[in-house]
């Protein structure tokens, strides 16, 4: 689906005067996630790679552990005013006839800014984690500082709109082997983790997750549940993100620039 971008006419003011021109916007549409026909959640996302997103989301919610837990994932027939399928409702049928537990159903809309919407706590993350964090990769400081620029190269839609977050999966040498974009930072990470789950790559023992956004609680949560021991963020961390990272022994790096970065937890994985 070529629905990641939309175009609109704008009136631009500058020192050179005023002109009419076309602008490119990042698309934002709702995705209703159903499990066995039961509506579980609605998230605002950039269309594309929805199957990956749903697998990553369900993994972080503790509904699935591997791709084998999903029998089929398909779009439902949700139509717009002109009778066209919106591709905004995706239903997952679990293997073996498993059903969604009632407590897994969210009662609020998940915006593109909020992943867990207050439903998770640090203790719950510890209980749901299937992958105790391994020693993890060892990174040099130079490798860490190069990661944001390496991720930016793999964000073509951000370059056009300025409105999409990116998440990348990097090797210990700093090579980013996989990346996804989305208007929601948590969706971008779900797409990466979901793709790795579909490929049988979990846990992410020797990998680094890199995000173009701030390091919020839900991103640390998702990284921890995927068995990834290092999360590198371009912007600031939140207090709860730092608390969870320290509790899980996850290396949390934030305010990452080409010449500096801050380590908030588990500094032993970064060489001085």
For position 121, what pLDDT does the model report? 61
CATH number of 29-120: 3.10.20.10
Q: Which of 212, 154, 156, 152 is nearest to 185 (CA)?
A: 212
For position 108, what pLDDT does the model report? 47
Domains 29-120 and 139-271 fall in the same CATH topology: no
What are the φ and ψ backbone dihedral angles of 45, each rounded to 5 degrees?
A: -145, 170
For position 82, what pLDDT does the model report? 77
CATH number of 139-271: 3.40.140.10
- The CA distance from 256 to 270, in Å, is 13
CB 222 within 8 A of CB 193: yes
Question: Catalytic one among 76, 114, 117, 167?
Answer: 114
Which tokens sit at 260? 């500096």
Active site residue 114: yes
Q: How many CA atoms lie within 13 A of 208 on its CB side?
A: 28
Q: Which of 211, 205, 206 is nearest to 189 (CA)?
A: 211
CA Rg value for the chain:
19
What is this structure's pTM? Answer: 0.91
User: Hey, where are the domains in the chain?
Assistant: 29-120, 139-271
For position 78, what pLDDT does the model report? 77
For position 64, what pLDDT does the model report? 95
All residues at 6 or more sequence positions from 197 whose CB lies less than 8 Å from its CB, including other chains = 55, 56, 59, 64, 66, 67
Q: State whether residue 231 is helix, strand or coil.
A: strand
pLDDT averaged over consecutive 10-residue blocks of the chain (272 residues)? Answer: 81 95 94 95 96 97 95 88 84 92 64 46 72 92 98 93 95 98 97 98 97 96 96 97 95 98 98 84
Which tokens sit at 15? 């020192």
């Amino acid at each position: 689906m070529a629905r990641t971008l939309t175009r609109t006419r704008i009136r631009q003011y500058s020192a050179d005067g005023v002109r009419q021109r076309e602008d490119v916007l990042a698309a934002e549409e709702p995705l209703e996630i159903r499990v066995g026909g039961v509506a579980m959640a609605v998230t605002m996302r950039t269309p594309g790679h929805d199957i990956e997103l749903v697998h990553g989301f369900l993994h972080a919610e503790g509904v699935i552990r591997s791709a084998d837990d999903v029998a089929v994932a398909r779009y439902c027939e949700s139509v717009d005013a002109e009778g066209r399928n919106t591709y905004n409702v995706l239903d997952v049928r679990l293997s073996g006839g498993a059903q969604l537990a009632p407590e897994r159903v969210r009662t609020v809309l998940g915006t593109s800014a909020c992943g867990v919407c207050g439903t998770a706590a640090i203790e719950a993350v510890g209980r749901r984690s299937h992958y105790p964090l391994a020693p993890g990769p060892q990174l040099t400081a130079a490798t860490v500082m190069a990661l944001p620029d390496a991720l930016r190269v793999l964000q073509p839609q951000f370059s056009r709109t300025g409105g999409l977050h990116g998440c990348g999966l990097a090797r210990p040498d700093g090579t980013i082997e996989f990346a996804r974009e989305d208007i929601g930072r948590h969706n971008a990470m779900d797409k990466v983790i979901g793709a790795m789950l579909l490929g049988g790559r979990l846990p992410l023992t020797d990998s680094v997750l890199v995000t173009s956004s701030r390091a919020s609680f839900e991103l640390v949560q998702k990284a921890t549940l995927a068995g990834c021991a290092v999360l590198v963020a371009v912007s600031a961390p939140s207090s709860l993100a730092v608390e969870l990272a320290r509790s899980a022994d996850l290396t949390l790096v934030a305010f990452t620039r080409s010449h500096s970065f801050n380590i908030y937890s588990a500094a032993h994985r970064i060489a001085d």
